[in-house]
Amino acid sequence: MPGMTTTPDRNRVQLPGISSRAYEHPADRSALVALRSLSGFDTVLKQMSGLISERRLRLIYLASAVRTSDTQFRALHDMGRDAAYILDLPRIPEVYVQQDPKVQAMAIGFDDPFIVVTTGLLDLMDAEEQRFVIGHETAHILSGHAVYRTMLDILTRLATRVAWIPLGYIGLRAIVAGLEEWHRKSELSADRGGLLVGQDSDAALRALMKLAGGSRLHEMNIEAFLDQAREYDTAGDVRDGLLKVLNLLGTTHPFAVSRVAELDKWRRGGEYDAILSGTYPRRTDDSSAKITEEIKAAARSYRESWSQSQDPFIGVLRDVAEGAVNAGERIFNRFARRDGN
């Protein structure tokens, strides 16, 4: 790898040529495979968003934040290098530290993406938790999530502009809601990628728990927090289930308790260990990924989630949702027969 002359600071497993499909949530992966198959889609989207904005943002952070290096925030700089090494990125993203008490990290850019973390996050997280966060953002970069998140931003702004047109707003709002659901699943994907980078499940779960409870780690317990997740899934009646759905409207990140539960479930399910042992899809095979297969995988994922959920509201909607999934599969299969994919 050009410019990569060092290895991680401890014996972590490198994942040569790993495809982002290895860790992406099925609902995220199916959307990405479909969008990547649209020739020129990302080029059009870049033109819509304006590449000048990416250059402008980098200049802003270059002027107002601290860029990590061998002499500035060296530990964080090394984490960025190590994350790129483990996920086998062709280029090491720059990492910037911004003075801000908010706990936040983000990956920015299309062609030359970079990572920004706030001092609030550094104050909250210990070293291995920070490594998970840097891995999370690096996974976003490998997946190319920034391109498709821009689409969500554009449509969200457009929806507010046509809010005075009832039918136009309703249609756009439905699209935005679907994109928000994808965005939440992309966060679950990046959590998995962060775990693959840090390869420390305790640190990953701690980092997510701290997003809910703050720095007083001695006052928290991960098993108790997982119990909260189970209670959140099962508590209440149909009214509570409806409220949980409504609480997600307008959000792009799952709630912390759900993220901890989902990451712990994925780790225990065997995929994590399989990837570390070398069993994972390679980037060289991305072009041969079948849209229909990914759609079916997403449908299976939702079915499993519905069948395992104890939420009464999910039980009421299960048959309706199952019908929608089956209809979606028929539509995609029809298109697949036309284009031979």
Q: Which residues are catalytic?
A: 137
Would you put residue 11 in left (φ > 0), alpha (ψ -120 to 50) or beta?
A: beta
Q: Which two tokens stand for residue 78?
A: 């090394």
Q: Which residue has the tokens 């998970």?
A: 132
What is the token pair recorded at 33?
């495979």
Cα–Cα dist 246/41, whole Å: 32
Q: How far is CA 163 from CA 48, 166, 168, in A?
A: 21, 7, 7
Please state, in angstroms and rounded to a whole number, the distance separating the CA atoms of residues 190 and 188.
Answer: 5
Q: Which residues contact 50 (CB under 8 A, 6 or more apart)?
A: none
Distances 65 to 52, 59, 85, 117, 259 between C-alpha atoms, Å: 19, 10, 24, 10, 29
Distance CA 331, CA 326 (A): 9
Tokens of 215: 């720095």
Residue whose structure tokens are 């931003």: 153
- CA torsion sign for 130, 198, 132, 85 is positive
262 token code pair: 């989902």
Helix then strand count (H, E) for the chain reads 15, 4
